[in-house]
Structure 1
Amino acid sequence: MARTGTDDSIVLERHGEIAVVRLNRPDRLNAFTDAMCYRLIEIFDETDTDDEVRAVVLTGTGRAFCAGADLAAGGDTFVLGEDPATGGAPADTGGQVTLRIYRSLKPVIAAINGPAAGVGVTMTLPADIRIASDTAKFGFVFTRRGLVPEACSTWFLPRAVGISTAVEWAVGGKMVPATEALERGLVRELVPADQVSARAIEIARELVSGTAPVSAALTRRLMWQMLGASSPEVAHRAESVGIYVRGVSDDVREGVAAFLEKRAPEFSDRVSDGLPDLFE
């Protein structure tokens, strides 16, 4: 395992081809700050351009995943200045993080090792797979703080658990136990707290083993963008472009040859060289 980065509130570790991004303020239950927001965005920029990274695991240090926004400023925590560019409302920091994760070119697994509230849970919604500790709790607590949901969660949450559950959890603002989160589809599986990171890394490796990095990146993008498509015809067109441009690639020749020769493929196309635009 290799550790990189200089901001100790977010730790970036490498476990072979898997990058592990760890929220690292355990004395504050990993409460979220603006500095953490900007560092997370930087890290996802780094993992996107590093061809040695095939997938990203997002987790927390200590007994919590993330307690939500750091409330050190008390009642003024959510008093924000105007956006200097527009003179209007600034982009919420949680939304900036979730959009960056949404745009990731590598699969993302959220390993929720303990309680997750506010932005601590909404930042996990653009992850492709979420697993959690059997002691985790989840809180979309915004109405109990006089706020509204943030971090694009009114788009992501209904797509993950359905509109009825999303409204129930977001309007009521109650803490949701891990078993209910599993039953409603927020998380895929529950494991003991000391096994969450290891299990997430295992899932990440299963996800990328034997797959072409460029094809994996394009497939992830297709899946997420088609959630908002107006009709299956949009998907048909994008997939047709994808088959057309990837069909002549070295990766396809290698993938077919490896299959016929009954060996593991060695794909050469790199994500860092850029992806074709499938959404003409």
Structure 2
Amino acid sequence: MALVEYEREGQVVILTLNRPEKLNAFSDELVGMLGEALHRFDIDDEAEIAILHGNGRAFSSGADVHQRQLRSRDEFLKLGGPQGRGTHSADLLTKAVNWKPVIAAPHGYVLGLSVGIVLECDLIVAEEGTRFQITETSRGLGAGKYWGLMHFRGGGAFTMEAALTGRFFTAEEALKANLINRVAPKGKYLDAARELAAEVIKNPPLSVRSTVRLRRWYMDRLSREIMHQTAPERLYFSEDFQEAARAFAEKRKPGKFKGR
């Protein structure tokens, strides 16, 4: 079973996250396979636009906590953080060659790491009632990257609230805050994404790609600046992070956080 399914419908490629038994949680392997699928789309001569969505009950529950957040201290030191070697999600859309646009079409839940992936896509069409959450806040990790991406999209004051509280927010709230482009009725989010894709591909491909390339360059620069500023904190070594990760894995509420 492919972790990411690749299907082309004329000029539109449908990329499907296919780990439904784990709510499409991003393991190192899934990040790697999505990177391969995005590269395949980027160099597919017949493809002009892609739609990214998730199989099953949710777009994605975020990072695979059991693999990426319960690593040993030695592993964190060797890898420079929770991500595996060569599987940093921030690289997925910024290593393109042809700069074709990608539409995210989330439904169900979009948590943690997957919030970043959705926000990094060029256009977003969410199913009504989709719930987003920056889980890094409650897990003892910084939410600076997510604040930056939401701010980049024009999220205004809502951006700070979402980043500091780590609360769930809906597709409808995200649309009101200018974080996403469209909200689709239940069960119609892929159809709505296809309609938006059809509007995009009416235009000359090179002019579309020029705009995509420039937007992603600015987005990537902002993300790299944030990561450069926050990397020395190494919050994944904190006691609070370790307690939050263990509590999640053990399906219990975390104990009192200590600020260390």
TM-score range, shorter chain: 0.7 to 0.9
Shift of the 216–186 alpha-carbon distance from structure 1 to 2, 3 Å rule, reads: same
- Determine whether 1:35 maps to 2:43: no
For the 8 Å contact 1:67–1:115, the answer to whether it is kept is yes
Match of 2:80?
A: 89
Which runs of 5 or more structure 2 residues have no equivalent in the other structure? 222-260
Q: Which of 114, 130, 135 is the aligned partner of 2:129?
A: 135
Match of 1:45?
A: 39
TM-score of the superposed pair, with normalisation by structure 1: 0.69
Q: What amino acid does structure 2 have at the position aligned with 1:183?
A: K
TM-score of the superposed pair, with normalisation by structure 2: 0.74
Which whole-Å CA distance do the structure 2 matches of 1:82 and 1:34 have between them? 14
Q: Report the identity percentage.
A: 29
Q: Which structure ranks higher in relative contact order (CA pairs < 8 Å, sequence separation ≥ 6)?
A: 2
- Determine whether 1:166 maps to 2:178: no
Which whole-Å CA distance do the structure 2 matches of 1:80 and 1:220 have between them? 39
Shift of the 62–51 alpha-carbon distance from structure 1 to 2, 3 Å rule, reads: same
Which whole-Å CA distance do the structure 1 matches of 2:140 and 2:82 have between them? 19
Deviation at 1:79, TM superposition (A): 5.6
DSSP 3-state at the match of 1:13: strand
DSSP 3-state at the match of 2:137: helix
Which whole-Å CA distance do the structure 2 matches of 1:191 and 1:80 have between them? 45
Which whole-Å CA distance do the structure 2 matches of 1:146 and 1:228 have between them? 24
For the 8 Å contact 2:115–2:146, the answer to whether it is kept is no
DSSP 3-state at the match of 2:56: coil
Which whole-Å CA distance do the structure 1 matches of 2:73 and 2:103 have between them? 32
Which structure 1 residue ranges, 4+ long, deviate > 4 Å from structure 2?
77-80, 226-229
Match of 1:181?
A: 174
Match of 2:229?
A: none
Match of 1:275?
A: none
Shift of the 228–90 alpha-carbon distance from structure 1 to 2, 3 Å rule, reads: closer
Structural RMSD (CA): 2.7
Q: Which of 170, 174, 183 is the aligned partner of 1:190?
A: 183
- Give the number of aligned pairs: 218
Q: Which of 70, 93, 100 is the aligned partner of 1:106?
A: 100
For the 8 Å contact 1:116–1:138, the answer to whether it is kept is yes
